[in-house]
Amino acid sequence: MRQTILLITALGLTAVFFFMLGSQSNVAEENLQTKVAETIETIPTKEFPNPVTDKTHTATLTEGDTLTLSNNISIEVVSLSQESDTLNIEMLHYITDDNGTTFPINVEDSPKTHKLTLGDSSKNWNEDYAYKIKLKEINGESFTAELTALSEWLNSPKDLYDDCMSSKDDHDTCYIYSLYEPVQGEIQLQSEHFIVIGPEYSQSYMEFMSSQFEYCYTDMMDYLQIDEEIPFFPVRILPSDNSSGGAVGDNGMKLLGPERMLSRDNSSKTASTNFCDNSLLSHELVHAAMRGTPLSSVFNEGLATYYSVVVKHPILICKADGYIYRDNEKVEFAVLNKGGRLQTEQYHTGACFWDEYVKDNGYNVFLETIQVLKEADGQQISTLDLINEALGIDFTEARSKYGFTSNSEKNFQQAQKATANKWLE
């Protein structure tokens, strides 16, 4: 039995999902069909007036202005602020769809030339997919810039995707260039907050997941009491030969290995309920909601795991010095500040840290903590420091119990920097 459990946990939290699937019900299935039929629709295209057709265009822009450049690429100035000698311009760029990518420009002294890179800037494999933005003049509330398209042939995300595929031949890398539009062999399902795109053959799995997304999202938002809605969120189902599970990153959420999830348990093809019955989604949605906050890796994974398998789909029981996972024997807490890739034991120990935090301080303080974290969005501060400063909570006891050392804060900060722009599984 011990071996089996280890194997299951080694597969990650995805395994939990299979156990949580409910039994099939015809009524539920009918509801699902209705719901899916209602939710399949075309994504609206954001309309910008007066597209510019010249390759190079000079424009004076202020906060709130939008401009459609050649190639259907639109720019919106979402914020403009000046701090001493630094001008911060935050722009969104759109490629025909309704969802922009933030593009900040920091101008320190003399105007410089900036590049607006399309797709994932960390994978800047071809600089031609960009606009050159040359700042000519800055006048407090507005700025004048010369915008030059560097690729004339580019007309859609699919063009970007196709070209990426022609050079890289790797769908898992290239799909990010067409985040909101299916490419060849893919279909899309849309619900109120999510667009789910995946391979045609995984349609039944996608239908199940699309309906689950909204239920799980509502429950998660209620539990963490987050008011702001997440922006329309892209989810990609990616085929995978040797792994399954989920992750959240700069390009939305990805769910791996639908064929494994389908074949593993036939009920996953059609089973549905009208409530959140999927711990994988519960876990990933916490990541989606908490992105950008100063949660270093163990606290981030711990929080997502705490919500998904302690609170929402309870199968992990935290004890004073360890935890019980399903019917397994008790496992002692893992050391949390180890660095490197987190193991399942650290996910579970991190979850128990939060479990104890809630038990010791109460749910209301937990909610305050979530609020403090959300307000500190983008700050470089360790999770424990932030909570300690904002709420005066002492972690002396927790330090020894959960294996924090005197170097913990430093390690956490390093871990946080290391994971800031990475996919969180």
Question: Where on the chain is the footprint of Zn ion (CB under 5 A)?
Answer: 301, 304
How far, in Å, CA of 273 to CA of 31, rounded?
Answer: 8
Q: Report in angstroms how near the CB of residue 193 gets to Zn ion at its nearest.
A: 19
- Complex with Zn ion: residue 148 or 337, whichever CB lies closer: 337
- Complex with Zn ion: residue 70 or 337, whichever CB lies closer: 337
Q: Report in angstroms how near the CB of residue 342 gets to Zn ion at its nearest.
A: 9
Q: Report in angstroms how near the CB of residue 304 gets to Zn ion at its nearest.
A: 4
How far, in Å, CA of 324 to CA of 317, rounded?
Answer: 5
Classify residue 86 by burial, with Cβ atoms within 10 Å: 0-12, 13-18, 19+. Answer: exposed
Q: Report in angstroms how near the CB of residue 303 gets to Zn ion at its nearest.
A: 9
Beta strands in 130-251 (DSSP E): 130-139, 142-149, 186-190, 194-199, 233-238, 245-249
- Chain mean position to CA 343: 20
- Complex with Zn ion: residue 48 or 423, whichever CB lies closer: 423
Q: Report in angstroms how near the CB of residue 395 gets to Zn ion at its nearest.
A: 22
Angle at 315 between CA 309 and CA 316, to 5 degrees: 75
- Complex with Zn ion: residue 277 or 301, whichever CB lies closer: 301
Q: Report in angstroms how near the CB of residue 134 gets to Zn ion at its nearest.
A: 41
- Complex with Zn ion: residue 132 or 291, whichever CB lies closer: 291
How far, in Å, CA of 5 to CA of 7, rounded?
Answer: 5
Q: Report in angstroms how near the CB of residue 13 gets to Zn ion at its nearest.
A: 7
- Complex with Zn ion: residue 211 or 346, whichever CB lies closer: 346
Helix 297-305 × helix 279-290 angle, to 10°: 140
Angle at 419 between CA 415 and CA 420, to 5 degrees: 115
- Complex with Zn ion: residue 28 or 304, whichever CB lies closer: 304
Q: Which helix (H) or strand (E) holds 93?
A: strand 86-95
Q: Report in angstroms how near the CB of residue 398 gets to Zn ion at its nearest.
A: 21
CA-closest candidate to residue 208, choices 258, 268, 248: 268
How far, in Å, CA of 307 to CA of 101, rounded?
Answer: 29
- Complex with Zn ion: residue 163 or 301, whichever CB lies closer: 301
Neighbour count for residue 186 (Cβ, 10 Å):
18
How far, in Å, CA of 157 to CA of 180, rounded?
Answer: 8
Q: Nearest-CB residue to Zn ion?
A: 304
